[in-house]
């Protein structure tokens, strides 16, 4: 019995020692050039990546061999290892000795201790919920991502990562204030709250979004390149703000009504949403946002006049270069319709996504884009002709308008609403009158320009309107 115990201790020590080298060797490959096992935490996203790797990697490297050995022993009905957290303990003991010998623990003992403690806690949780569950008869079902045990570990890992990263940054700031002669290694930029420089918009991430969620998007998102770019830019921001392990926590909290939004697109629902479910809910919401943006663009100084945006029955067309330039400069306030504030510096995120989408089309961009969408359907219904456009912020014009000055101009005697304008223009068109232009200033007046028999026009519009030309 004693030899068996000694054998397991040797196994624990060997696993912990090998894991020290394996974690150090695999670090640069695991999180790229941002891996800094011996250095202070960087101030950007790589700080959280380092904390996450330093906690999780020892658990994986130490617990996975123990899991395999325990499973083999169980299969052959041989007594297996009982103190299964010991390899992780030895890992941190060996790593602490190495760091101390190299003088790497000065001013970093407390963060190192936190990492070691939480890594051990995670190993104990893995042992209790996963290994014990497997040996207790659940088998490989214990690894099912729907298992509360597995979700608990993801939640614990996510919380620990952000706790330690935040704690150590605060610790560095405090120490830099006390030791004023030392150049601080971390400075909080005054604009950091409003900046999205850490959002991952690399090709690998954007390809992953396309592959995972592209099939959920309607045809409109394929026809309208800018709308598609808007959608994935918002997805990138929301995903960056709520990484997958944070969303796991939110889904768990939503069962107790502690989280209002869930899923990768952070949508509201009575029940917790998966990432795909949240995408399905976000699609019509973002479409309505885009419809409103198109209307504002068409009425603005940048898009009015008929060259920027034209509105047809059931679809619209726009000049790609004009609108792409506008949305590049105005994506941040546009994103405010989704997140609730228009002060976030998110323009560069959209620009990165748009450039990615343009590359998928070989950089051969359309002159005009046509896509389905019923924007300004009421205003189009006022006029005659195939399409209309905005001449200025309040005036919508038919494609039939030639600006020859021969039209009859009607001005409302009192304040009217859109319903009254619709009823009036409908009666005029039923009499064979062509309505060329309508100007509506809410709370003030309305003007209609049309061509047709003057006597019919006067008798049709009634006493609420007067003919001025």
Integer Cα distance of 298 and 304 in angstroms = 5
What digits encode the pLDDT tens for the residues 137-162?
A: 666 665 554 454 555 556 456 545 54
- Of 117-121, 247-251, 433-437, minimum mean pLDDT range: 247-251
* pLDDT at residue 8 is higher than 60: yes
Summarize pLDDT for 341-386 with one digit per residue, the tens.
888 889 999 999 999 999 999 999 999 999 999 899 999 999 999 9
419-432 residue pLDDT tens? 999 999 999 999 99
pLDDT band, very low/low/confident/very high, at 259 (cuts 50, 70, 90): confident
What integer best gives the mean pLDDT of the chain? 82
pLDDT, tens digit, for every residue of 311-326?
Answer: 999 999 999 999 999 9
Question: Minimal CA–CA distance to 240: which of 344, 395, 129, 390?
Answer: 344
- For the chain, give the percent of residues with pLDDT over 70: 79
User: Looking at 59-68, 162-171, 289-298, 421-430, which range is the least confident one?
Assistant: 162-171
What pLDDT score was predicted for residue 141? 60
Contacts of 387 (CB under 8 A, 6+ apart): 310, 311, 312, 380, 398, 399
Taking the C-alpha atoms of residue 244 and residue 150, their distance in angstroms, rounded to an integer, is 14
Sign of CA dihedral 272, 278, 284, 286: positive
Average the pLDDT over each of 8-17, 153-162, 398-407 and give the range with the smallest value. Answer: 153-162
> Residue 463's pLDDT is what?
81
């Amino acid at each position: 019995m004693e030899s068996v115990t000694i054998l397991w201790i040797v196994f624990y020590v060997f696993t912990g020692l090998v894991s020290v080298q394996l974690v150090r060797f695999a670090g640069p490959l695991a999180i790229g050039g941002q891996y800094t096992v011996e250095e202070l935490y960087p101030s950007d996203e790589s700080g959280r990546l380092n904390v996450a790797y330093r906690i999780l990697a020892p658990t994986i490297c130490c617990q996975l061999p123990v899991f395999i050995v325990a499973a083999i022993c169980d299969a052959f009905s041989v007594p297996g290892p009982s103190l299964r957290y010991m390899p992780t303990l030895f890992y941190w003991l060996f790593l602490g000795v190495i760091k101390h010998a190299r003088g790497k623990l000065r001013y970093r003992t407390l963060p190192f201790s936190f990492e070691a403690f939480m890594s051990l806690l995670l190993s104990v949780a893995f042992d209790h919920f996963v290994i014990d569950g497997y040996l207790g008869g659940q088998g490989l079902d214990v690894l099912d991502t729907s298992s509360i045990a597995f979700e608990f570990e993801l939640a614990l890992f996510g919380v620990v990562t952000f706790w330690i990263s935040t704690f150590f940054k605060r610790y560095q700031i405090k120490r830099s204030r006390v030791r004023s002669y030392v150049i601080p290694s971390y400075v909080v930029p005054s604009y950091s709250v409003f900046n999205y420089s850490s959002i991952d918009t690399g090709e690998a991430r954007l390809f992953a979004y396309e592959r995972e969620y592209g099939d959920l998007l309607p045809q409109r998102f394929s026809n309208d390149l800018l709308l598609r770019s808007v959608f994935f830019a918002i997805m990138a921001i929301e995903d960056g703000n709520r990484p997958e392990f944070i969303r796991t926590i939110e889904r768990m909290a939503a069962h107790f009504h502690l989280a209002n939004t869930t899923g990768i697109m952070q949508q509201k629902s009575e029940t917790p949403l998966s990432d795909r479910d949240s995408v399905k809910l976000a699609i019509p919401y973002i479409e309505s946002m885009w419809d409103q943006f198109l209307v504002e663009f068409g009425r603005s100084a940048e898009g009015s006049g008929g060259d920027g945006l034209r509105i047809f029955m059931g679809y619209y067309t726009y000049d790609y270069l004009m609108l792409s330039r506008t949305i590049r400069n105005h994506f941040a306030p546009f994103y405010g319709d989704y997140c609730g504030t228009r002060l976030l510096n998110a323009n560069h995120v959209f620009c990165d996504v748009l450039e990615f989408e343009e590359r998928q089309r070989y950089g051969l961009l359309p002159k005009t884009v046509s896509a389905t969408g019923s924007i300004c359907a009421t205003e189009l219904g006022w006029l005659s002709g195939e399409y209309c456009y905005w001449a200025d912020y309040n005036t919508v014009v038919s494609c039939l308008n030639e600006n020859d000055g021969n039209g009859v101009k009607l001005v409302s005697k009192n304040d009217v609403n859109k319903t009254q304008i619709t009823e009036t223009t409908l009666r005029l068109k039923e009499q064979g009158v062509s309505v060329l232009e309508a100007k509506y200033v809410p709370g003030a007046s309305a003007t209609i320009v049309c061509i047709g028999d003057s006597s019919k026009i006067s008798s049709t519009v009634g006493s609420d309107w007067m003919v001025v030309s």
